[in-house]
Structure 1
Amino acid sequence: MAAVSCWVSGLPNKLISPNPKINSRSTSAPAASFKASLEPSSVSINRRSILLGTGALAHGLVLSNGALADEIPDRYKAFVDPIDGYSYLYPSDWRDFEFTGCDSAFKDRNVALQHVRVSFVPTEKREISDLGPIDEVVPSLVKNVYAAPTQRPTILDMQERTIDGKKYWTFEYNLQTPTFGRTAFATVAIGNGRYYTLVVGANERRWRRVRSQLSTVADSFRLVDI
């Protein structure tokens, strides 16, 4: 299956560090560009395989640091990346796949558009609220980063949480065209000198059926100190 492209931050230049020192599959594009188009290398694929293969060990390390405070719920697995500094839960029947420009991604085995992906870019900001008020930044993100020119965006909900001293924004949004709709959750956070984005969604027809499951994924995103 051909890799697809991952949305990354299209916020103004103030978000992006002028001298990035981060080596990752998620490499920032110029501020005017809203998509990454990097092909993952075999080294990246091998690295992810190692992370998946040592998930239990990594999960134990993260639990000891308090990044995942709760036990893993039934029918979920934990993806933990202690190298790039984040973790999250995903449905246990989803499978790993390559999403171009993203650091990690999993999708439903039967519904390709039902998936989660994580990307990050370097930043000099210290926490997500440094970008501005949530009710100003999130609409700009959805309109200018997540929505294509042919899509009409609608913000359905916005939440700010502080967990272990780290701030997270999670928002629910819909992207609509005359023939197709997609709804998603996004969780964004800043830490480790990086702006992280997790997006998990499904097509509009399935949203009501899977919303609770995908909300668990979005709310599970945690930063891990590196």
Structure 2
Amino acid sequence: MAVSSLSISLAATTLSTGNRCGIPSSSSSTKPPVLIPTFDECKNCKRRPLLLGVGTLALSLFPANSLFAEEIPRNYEAFVDLSDGYSYYYPSDWREFDFRGHDSAFKDRYLQLQNVRVSFIPTEKTDIHDLGPMQDVVYNLVTHVYSAPTQMANIFDMQERTVDGKNYYTFEYALTSPNFSRAAFATIAIGNGRYYTLIVGANERRWKRVRNKLKVVADSFKLLDI
């Protein structure tokens, strides 16, 4: 059986909004668990992994990459999906949950709106630069994909980074509606014939307290060759 993912525990510009459109646990064992995904009838629904303890087998199957060349920050764990080709860190006190249409997701145990989720769609493009200038890409995503017609969108920051020859856009934004506001970071990247999106956010009232914590998650997202 192929190992498909690992969960490893170590030590303002105001924009007008558009219409929404579609796009783009560990056990007490000291050995890292392997997540073996199963899928329901909807191929876009998130998998429900089983946790199985393994030792050196998992590490020997894991491809060499920069993830293990870095120390995972304290109070974070690494989620690594070998089958779908990506990895990221999440706070170690968060738990996995089903988020419809997403491939993986974790949330705070008590504050459910404080969460991270990853999704992807097929694409013929080979690099995030193929989508266009970062400013245009981010504007279109926030105003036409992430926000509803009743929400006001604000983009606060945009950053580009390159890791192992792969390019990523990470941006901070907030969506405000009459009764609710949410702030988030999003990281997007293209590789393996897929357009990947990671979003990590929280209620805007808590944003100042958790912003730096969630930025670690957004900046940790990496693609793996599959």
User: Per the shorter chain, which TM-score range?
Assistant: 0.7 to 0.9
Between Structure 1 and Structure 2, the one with more helix by share is 1
| Greater Rg by CA | 2
* Aligned: 1:89 with 2:89: yes
Q: Deviations over 1:62-90 (max 9, x none)?
A: 57222454211110000000000000000
Give distance in 2, aligned partners of 1:151 and 1:58: 45
Gaps of 5+ in 2: 1-19, 25-37
Name the SS of the counterpart of 1:100 in structure 2: coil
Q: Deviations over 1:187-208 (max 9, x none)?
A: 0000000000000000010000
Runs of 4+ off more than 2 Å: 7-11, 37-41, 52-64
* Aligned: 1:78 with 2:78: yes
* Aligned: 1:10 with 2:23: yes
Give distance in 2, aligned partners of 1:189 and 1:120: 9
Between Structure 1 and Structure 2, the one with more strand by share is 2
Q: TM-score, normalised by structure 1?
A: 0.77
Q: TM-score, normalised by structure 2?
A: 0.77
Q: Which residue of 1 aligns with 2:29?
A: none
Offset of residue 180 of structure 1: 1.4
Of 95-104 and 58-67, deviating more is 58-67
Q: 1:172 and 1:204, CA in 2 relative to 1: closer, same or farther beyond 3 A?
A: same
1:1-226 superposed matches below 5 A: 10=23, 40=45, 44-45=47-48, 48-50=49-51, 64-67=64-67, 69-226=69-226
Q: 1:149 and 1:76, CA in 2 relative to 1: closer, same or farther beyond 3 A?
A: same
Offset of residue 49 of structure 1: 2.7
Q: 1:107 and 1:195, CA in 2 relative to 1: closer, same or farther beyond 3 A?
A: same
Identity of aligned residues (%): 60
8 Å Cα contact 2:44-2:102 kept in structure 1? no
The letter of the residue matching 2:224 is: V
Q: 1:57 and 1:109, CA in 2 relative to 1: closer, same or farther beyond 3 A?
A: farther
Q: 1:174 and 1:53, CA in 2 relative to 1: closer, same or farther beyond 3 A?
A: farther
Offset of residue 39 of structure 1: 7.5
Offset of residue 178 of structure 1: 2.2
Q: 1:101 and 1:59, CA in 2 relative to 1: closer, same or farther beyond 3 A?
A: farther
Gaps of 5+ in 1: 1-6, 12-23, 26-36
8 Å Cα contact 1:174-1:183 kept in structure 2? yes
Task: Give me the CA root mean square deviation.
Answer: 2.7
8 Å Cα contact 1:55-1:79 kept in structure 2? no
Name the SS of the counterpart of 2:50 in structure 1: helix
Name the SS of the counterpart of 1:64 in structure 2: coil
